[in-house]
Amino acid sequence: MEPMQTVAMRLNPNQIDALEALVSSRTITEAADKVGVTPKTLHLWMKEPSFRAAYSEVKRELFDDMTRRLLGLGDQAIDAYQEILRAPNMPGSYTLAKVADSLLNQIFRLREISDMDERLSAIEERLREISHEDL
């Protein structure tokens, strides 16, 4: 995959603005309005390989940022459990436990998905190697 800077160099300034608008808007129409283009133009850009690649990279970076932030909350979730164990009758302990439980479950799900993604990538790489060996 090309580095984001290389892909973005092929985009015009409106398209670069559109990337940010797309990830911060609820609809294509809202994103188009932010950039000052029509929704049809935005849909056309989304069909261009360089724009699609840049959009995918922006979404991947946002997801990576959210993942890091979620992982950072893991320590706080464990601290919450410890606090509840020390004072199980404190006000809000049930809600705190539910939030901590939800956070830790999401972190474990991310780990499982990450592990599967790594294994799938290894399998795909091995298949590419095998297909090149056969040539």
Summarised one tens digit per residue, pLDDT across range 35-71 is 999 999 999 999 999 999 999 999 999 999 999 999 9
CA distances from residue 79 to 3, 69, 74 in whole angstroms, order as listed: 39, 16, 9
Query: Cα-flanking dihedrals φ and ψ of residue 48, to 5°?
Result: -75, 130
Cα–Cα dist 22/68, whole Å: 22
Cα–Cα dist 99/79, whole Å: 12
Cα–Cα dist 88/98, whole Å: 13
Three-state DSSP at 36 gives coil
Q: What is the pLDDT of residues 83-103, one digit of tens each?
A: 999 999 999 999 999 999 999
Q: What is the pLDDT of residues 5-27, one digit of tens each?
A: 555 678 999 999 999 999 999 99
Neighbours of 91 (CB within 10 A): 8
Number of domains comprising the chain: 1
Closest CA to 64 of 17, 100, 114, 3: 114
Q: What is the pLDDT of residues 48-57, one digit of tens each?
A: 999 999 999 9
pLDDT of residue 10: 83
Residue 114: give the domain boundaries: 4-133
Both tokens of residue 54? 């840049």
